Structure 1
Amino acid sequence: MKPKHILTLLVAIVIIAAVAYTLTSTDSPEAYIEKVEAERERQFKFIRFNAESPLTESQKQSFTKLEFYPIDPTYKVKALMVTIENKKVREVPLTDGSKERYIEHSWAEFEIQGKPQRLLLMQSMDESDKRNFFLAFADETSGVETYGGGRYINARQDGKSSITLDFNLAYNPYCAYNPDYACPIPPRENILEIPIPAGEKNYDK
């Protein structure tokens, strides 16, 4: 039986978080695009070849690429972190009906497509680096061009009260590839009423 929980597969998360941390506002547009493309290539190789990939061996044989939206730097946004004073532990439902516990840490407030947005930043209970946050979100592309269960961003605080959210690095949970995995469902606070045509598209089985 395959392991059920996506959070047991830390290798992919570490790779994506590390790349997100290196993408700073000092990058030229060309350098930024190169870094995102490099991350996408690493992501493909992990899914295609790594023993911890969510794909079955038979899926790997026919797997040739991941689908992404074109890279658009306007979907890399600097957000204001508004700390939740009375932090609570939330039991986040997973796709198999079980739950995982996260800390409700902050609100990320930003503007995109000319509209103000606010998303809930959560932190794993066992996160050792308190600058790292987990963001699960859904938007109007969910269930159409992107996975219906939403997508994830691993974000890192980069200022006293700021965090960069790079939707070009939004990726699918492992249950998008294989239903044997159980993945956190985006909280209701993180369901955007706009499309986010950035990051990974749905996996074409």
Structure 2
Amino acid sequence: MKRLLVLLGLSVTLSCAQGKQPITGETEFQKEMNAKFKDASTSPLKDKDRKTFKGLDFFTFDSSYVVMATLKRTPNEQPFKMKTTTDRLPEYVKYGEVRFELKGTAYELNIYQNLELLDEDGYEDYLFLPFLDDTNGEKTYGGGRYIEGRIPNGDTIQIDFNTAYNPYCVYNEKYSCPIVPRDNYLALKVEAGVKSFDKH
């Protein structure tokens, strides 16, 4: 009887271990994203999508999409209400302009601060870089993607397009997501970061 209980316990343990999917990802960013999406307490996915979730679809990491940009501050900008996918209008301010070369061409994007986050611990130096590119509507979400950053000590900032991610409203319409300003369009295919999401 004792041996039977041990065997049953071993069987249950093996069954649970086999049913538990490992966290996948080529880079630390990809692993962190997949872990967040798999965890019910942090995932933006609907329950039905999370239960079958095996990992986000990423472009293969490409170091050519990691660029050093010049950050030009624009300290006299006025706060504005950024449009979102809902009626919510969060307050942002243009923090500056980032200028960089990508695939041999010079580009410029506006980078923002969310004024509502400034008083939250850990977000005092948070920067928000939304952008559009020529993969939108094909390989990536049609509304563009986001990159997060931190205020640098000097006038240069690293932008890693491999960390570009989708707005949460892509996965669940209950989220209210900032709409990428048209000024932040890159006239090339940024084949880096998270791809579009196939809903079940």
Query: Shorter-chain TM-score: which interval?
Result: 0.7 to 0.9
Does 2:40 match 1:50? yes
Q: Match for residue 175 of structure 2?
A: 181
Residues 55-90 of structure 1 show CA distances to partners (whole Å, capped at 9, x for unaligned) of 121111111111000100110111001111421112
Does 2:88 match 1:88? no
In 2, Cα distance between the equivalents of 1:115 and 1:39? 26
Q: Match for residue 61 of structure 2?
A: 71
Q: Match for residue 118 of structure 2?
A: 127
Asked which structure has the greater RCO (Cα within 8 Å, sep 6+), the reply is: 1
Q: Match for residue 12 of structure 1?
A: none
In 2, Cα distance between the equivalents of 1:167 and 1:104? 20
Contact 1:156 1:164 in 2 (8 A): no
Contact 2:129 2:146 in 1 (8 A): yes
In 2, Cα distance between the equivalents of 1:121 and 1:191? 12
Q: Could you tell me which of 120, 138, 158 is aligned with 1:144?
A: 138
Provide runs of 4+ in structure 1 moved above 6 Å.
none
The one-letter code matched in structure 1 to 2:43 is S
Unaligned 5+ segments in structure 2 are 1-24
Aligned-residue offset at 1:160 = 1.2
Question: Rg bigger for which structure?
Answer: 2
More moved, 50-59 vs 67-76: 50-59
Unaligned 5+ segments in structure 1 are 1-34
Contact 1:138 1:149 in 2 (8 A): yes
CA RMSD of aligned residues (A): 1.6
- State the number of aligned residues: 171
Aligned-residue offset at 1:155 = 1.1
Q: Match for residue 62 of structure 1?
A: 52
Secondary structure of the 2:56 match is coil
Secondary structure of the 1:95 match is coil
The one-letter code matched in structure 2 to 1:185 is I
Percent same amino acid at aligned positions? 34
Relative to its length, the structure with more helix (as a share) is 1
